[in-house]
Amino acid sequence: MERMASLLSIEDLRVAFSLGKKETTVLRGINLSILGNEIHGLVGESGSGKTVTSTCIIGLLPIPPAKILSGHIYFDGKDLLSLPEDQMRTYRGRKIAMIFQEPAKYLNPAFKIGEQIIEMLMLHMGMKKRSAYERVVELLRLVGLDEKVIDSYPHELSGGMKQRAMIAMAISCDPDLIIADEPTTALDVTLQVQILALLKKLKDMRKLGVLFISHDLYLVSEIADRVSVIYAGRIVESATEEELFRNPLHPYTRLLMHSIPDAKKKGSKLATIPGQVPDAAEIGNGCAFANRCPIAKEDCFNDIPSYVEYENAHTVACYYAGKIWQIL
Ligand SMILES: Nc1ncnc2c1ncn2[C@@H]1O[C@H](COP(=O)(O)OP(=O)(O)OP(=O)(O)O)[C@@H](O)[C@H]1O
Ligand SMILES: [Mg+2]
């Protein structure tokens, strides 16, 4: 199968945080490619490095205490990691936009929604105020908000409306890539479903690439075209959504799937994965999942498995990928 060119390509990204004299590596070689017109789900437990990965893409990693140890993030023919801040600013918000879990934190409480989006359009797109105003009306409609919201302050909107307003702001400058970091976690289920549908619609209309970040594999399966599973700062498996669910090859992915509540087995206990994510400092040379893995053997503790590509562009980092399934 011929591969499409990537919109964004992360190669061997390693990031550490320093606390006093102690340096902790939190991204241990991330490899991830996002195509245009694709929703790429990044799923993993809390602390696995999802937000650190997204802040690297958008150039907002706090350096220090963070340090980029190695890696590249290619976008638009450039390595974003090597761009000076003034050039990075031309990408952030313009070509790469972000939607956060807590819109309240990122919408300025002192300005009306309309004013905030108009400012973005004037700054990044060089639009005049009048045409920017008209565009904001269009954008609000597109995300399912009444045009009256143009004159609302963020605190006057409900959680779901704020999230829609933030999506309107994110797409205002016609970005090529949107990073959505747990965008629905703070919403109730009905609103979650609506926001997912909106993101899908926008992806189709605008041919966007979307990096959709969540700790919820079920949610990711609802929206993503392709899914990457991250564990302790490393992608352990990546495949199309269909392929991943049809044929999960990494034991961690397999166990995550077991922990999705099954509608048919209502009331049955949620499977949990025994053990805990090891502290970054405790991960030795081997596979970070080995201490929780039901099929780990000695070699898993000694050397980190590299990526192997299987059929259907399905990549996995596990020595025993798909081999000993009767245990799981
Ligand atoms: N500013 C910081 N200083 C020190 N360590 C940090 C900082 N930000 C993140 N980390 C560490 O980096 C690791 C990855 O954090 P990250 O926020 O990327 O996790 P996450 O996958 O987004 O989790 P969650 O699902 O809870 O949002 C964690 O171990 C975290 O403690
Ligand atoms: Mg996070």
C-alpha to C-alpha distance for 318 and 67, rounded to whole angstroms? 28
Q: Which domains does the chain possess?
A: 6-95+175-327 (3.40.50.300)
- Whether pTM exceeds 0.75: yes
- State if residue 20 touches ligand 1 by the CB under 6 angstroms criterion: no
- State if residue 28 touches ligand 1 by the CB under 6 angstroms criterion: no
C-alpha to C-alpha distance for 55 and 232, rounded to whole angstroms? 17
pLDDT, one tens digit for every residue, the chain (328 residues): 444 578 999 999 999 998 888 888 999 999 999 988 899 999 998 889 999 999 999 998 988 899 999 999 999 889 999 999 888 988 888 899 998 877 777 788 999 999 999 998 998 889 999 999 999 998 998 888 899 999 999 999 988 888 889 888 988 988 999 999 988 877 777 778 888 888 898 888 888 999 999 988 888 998 999 999 999 999 999 999 999 999 999 999 988 887 765 544 444 444 567 777 777 667 778 899 998 888 888 899 989 999 999 888 899 999 998 776 655 5
Closest CA to 202 of 108, 127, 138, 153: 138
Q: How many Cβ atoms from other residues are within 10 Å of residue 308's Cβ?
A: 13
| pLDDT on residue 96 | 94
Q: Which atom of ligand 1 is nearest to the CA of 62?
A: 1
Q: What is the DSSP string of 46-95?
A: TTSSHHHHHHHHHT---TTTEEEEEEEEEETTEEGGGS-HHHHHHHBTTT
| pLDDT on residue 325 | 61
End-to-end CA distance of the chain: 31
Q: Which atom of ligand 1 is nearest to the CA of 233?
A: 14
- State if residue 50 touches ligand 1 by the CB under 6 angstroms criterion: yes
